[in-house]
Structure 1
Amino acid sequence: MASLSGEVGGIQMANPVLLAAGILGTTGASLKRAARAGAGGVVTKSVGSIPRDGHRGPTVVQVEGGLLNAMGLPNPSYTNFQEEIDIGREGGAPVVASIFGSGPQEFEEVAEGLDADGFELNLSCPHAERYGAEIGCEACKVEAITRAVKGSVSVPVWVKLTPNVADVIGLGLAAQRGGADAVVAINTLKAMAIDVESGRPILGNRFGGLSGPAIKPVAMRCVFDLASALEIPVIGVGGVASWQDAAEMIMAGAAGVQVGTALGRAEGYGIFRSISEGLSNYLDRKGMALAELKGLARRFS
């Protein structure tokens, strides 16, 4: 079978299919299970400087084309999370810690307080006041936060970008100027749902983030544009549920792909192995190496 091993955003992995942040990365056991199920790397649930309960429920609702969630970044704080990272590492794959804060100093504090194989800066959550996209939509803040974290740790730093802006390339360039090793595109699309019987917004927070198949074309466009403009790698996420989806993302220019909402399907954790094996078989059938697939669609533009 064609080899899928290589470097993704400065981290060596057995394959480029990762667990996305915010889905099953709350516990070390879920991280370890994803790694043993075939994920090339795993990204934790986002953690910050202080414990947060998140938004009141309902926090998740299924809609046509995916899921809406407004969790509100619930987490135990970084001071209570190192054990989960250590347990996750027992799965044999790199563990990337997703972290958030309200500014450079808070991001730096969290990063310095954790031992992980890399950090993913959550500058894109669409439903947490003072965090995520509220600061990640400004290029100057993206650059400053990235530079602060990159200067305080010795492992790769990824920046997860919001699609809820007019110029995602500008944010990617800001992350690159700040020293990021990769950008992750994209986080969820800001969205909402209303109950027609009561007229009330369904989510407790009124609006949340849309994930799943419906956002794949948006993610694809962002990956394509960013890969064309940046010198650092792009990691694609958004609606990846099959090896075909992963191949599309890589053809658009992604160095790796992350899987999130699709874990709710019947195959569950088995999706990591099914995507990587399908991708490997596809490369064998085409007589191609993974490096040849990367950015293939950009050659036609």
Structure 2
Amino acid sequence: MDRLKVKIGNLELKNPVMTASGTFGYGKEYADFIDLNRLGGIVVKGTTLEARQGNDYPRMAETPSGMLNAVGLQNKGADYFIDHLYPEICDYDTNIIVNVSGSTIDDYVRCAEKLVALDKIPAIELNISCPNVKEGGMSFGISPKAAAEVTKAVRSAYTKTLIVKLSPNVTDITEIARAVEAEGADSVSLVNTFLGMAIDAEKRKPVLSTITGGLSGPCIKPIALRMVWQVFHTVKIPVIGMGGISNWKDAIEFILAGSSAIQVGTYNFVDPTITMKILDGIESYLDRHHIQSINELIGNL
């Protein structure tokens, strides 16, 4: 329905419900559970220029109201995605967005250059939470200067909608948002996972092979919601909100805080039909409150 349509830069979504990278595979893995064509967008698994094996096991751990992961961006590389996966998913009636990761600015640029040629990929999402190997392993996303540099470089190579996914592991996330907006980002999505840790008390060892990992799930929602609200009041570009969304009410809260669209991540593992329930819940909310368009709610606290 038109009243659910939202825009992310020049990208039109039939509704604001998207799926988060790394939690939904390439979409087809969920085709037995939901109608993928009803989604506003699918952000596919993180894609790098070259194939990556990911981290050693164990690399996932359940935590109270959430989970830790240290998968390490395991994927078969951009060329494999283009040749083998893209043909399987390009005909879904939704926006297929590729999450792009890299270890150097050149990695990001070369990956974006490959993807810009794909007709059915209208946008990419830059994961700037990756370690910059040329800067001693510091994440691109924790420095306004580094975030600006990678955004500027990709912007010059990528002509379609450019979304930049922000790390929450910073002192002031609004600084990073301003930096990427200034260099041409069409939208920001936030938040990525928080840095966390789990310990096996009996073995006296870390649970994850990497010791630390990314924390996601309902436990991070209040912090994510606060960061979305802050960024919405800082930048003029659209905000895509995520972080612990597990029902329609969470989604409405993120929209009220300033999200033009939302991404559902970890809760897909709990309930693979959750996106449809959230979409139905949003429609019901609009009906109950006699709201003509979802856009009336964006940032409307």
Task: State if a TM-score over 0.5 links the two structures.
Answer: yes
Aligned residues: 292
The percentage of counterpart residues that share the same residue type is 35
Distance 1:296 1:272 in 2: 23
Counterpart residue number, 1:181: 186
Counterpart residue number, 2:97: 96
Counterpart residue number, 1:153: 158
Counterpart residue number, 1:73: 73
Change (3 A) 1:23 1:130: farther
Counterpart residue number, 2:170: 165
Output the TM-score relative to the length of structure 1: 0.92
Alpha-carbon deviations, 1:9-67, whole Å to 9, x = none?
43111111001001122x46237666626321000111111111111011111110101
Checking the alignment, whether the CA contact within 8 Å between 1:37 and 1:273 is kept in structure 2 is no
Output the TM-score relative to the length of structure 2: 0.92
Q: Which amino acid aligns with 2:262?
A: V
Distance 2:213 2:5 in 1: 35
Specify the SS of the correspondent of 2:56. Answer: coil
Q: How much has 1:153 moved relative to structure 2?
A: 1.7
Distance 2:232 2:154 in 1: 23
Point out where structure 1 has 5 or more consecutive residues left out of the alignment: none
Alpha-carbon deviations, 1:87-135, whole Å to 9, x = none?
222221111110111232221100111222101000125xx67499712
Higher mean C-alpha displacement, 116-125 vs 81-90? 81-90
Point out where structure 2 has 5 or more consecutive residues left out of the alignment: none
Distance 2:201 2:158 in 1: 49
Checking the alignment, whether the CA contact within 8 Å between 2:246 and 2:264 is kept in structure 1 is yes
Specify the SS of the correspondent of 2:46. Answer: coil
Checking the alignment, whether the CA contact within 8 Å between 1:2 and 1:280 is kept in structure 2 is no
Q: Which amino acid aligns with 2:163?
A: W
Checking the alignment, whether the CA contact within 8 Å between 2:103 and 2:132 is kept in structure 1 is no
Specify the SS of the correspondent of 2:222. Answer: helix
- Aligned CA RMSD, in angstroms, stands at 1.9
Change (3 A) 1:284 1:28: closer
Counterpart residue number, 1:200: 205
Alpha-carbon deviations, 1:213-271, whole Å to 9, x = none?
00011110110000000010110011011110000000000000000101112x41x21
Checking the alignment, whether the CA contact within 8 Å between 2:141 and 2:147 is kept in structure 1 is yes
Checking the alignment, whether the CA contact within 8 Å between 2:36 and 2:92 is kept in structure 1 is yes
Specify the SS of the correspondent of 1:86. Answer: helix
Counterpart residue number, 1:22: 22
Q: Which amino acid aligns with 2:278?
A: I
Counterpart residue number, 1:142: 147
Change (3 A) 1:144 1:228: same
Q: How much has 1:194 moved relative to structure 2?
A: 0.3
Distance 2:37 2:141 in 1: 33
Counterpart residue number, 2:5: 5
Distance 2:261 2:31 in 1: 19
Q: How is 1:247-286 mapped onto 2 (pairs within 5 angstroms)?
A: 247-265=252-270, 267-268=271-272, 270-286=273-289
Distance 1:118 1:133 in 2: 26
Checking the alignment, whether the CA contact within 8 Å between 1:32 and 1:89 is kept in structure 2 is no
Distance 1:145 1:74 in 2: 22
Specify the SS of the correspondent of 1:281. Answer: helix
Checking the alignment, whether the CA contact within 8 Å between 1:69 and 1:209 is kept in structure 2 is yes
